[in-house]
Amino acid sequence: MSGDHKIDNGGPAFPTSSLILPQGMTLRDHFAGLAMQALIAGHIAHYGHENYWPSKDLVSSSLEYADAMLKARQEGGAA
């Protein structure tokens, strides 16, 4: 998403109560990964394997979906 505002990353996707273990991926990373899986599956189903989707564009789209999900959570519902 473009603009000057920064969306909160949502904190840890799988939080633990341990202070020793690292927190791992953020909720934003988790949402982006799920969005990426869906985008790739849909793209391949529609266009087939031979139609390449540049990684940079795929990552950008995935992060846009993740940011939209985080924004909707912050606002208490769908955007």
Model confidence, pTM: 0.69
Residue pLDDT, tens place only, 43-55: 888 888 777 888 8
The residue extents of the domains of the chain are 29-40+55-74
CA of 71: how far to CAs of 19, 32, 68, in Å? 28, 13, 5
Instruction: State how far the Cα of 18 lies from the Cα of 53, in Å rounded to an integer.
Output: 40
CA of 67: how far to CAs of 16, 18, 28, 49, 74, in Å? 23, 27, 7, 27, 11
Structure-block tokens of residue 40: 């790739």
Sorted by sequence, the CB contacts under 8 Å of residue 45 that are 6+ apart come out as none
Residue pLDDT, tens place only, 35-45: 999 999 998 88
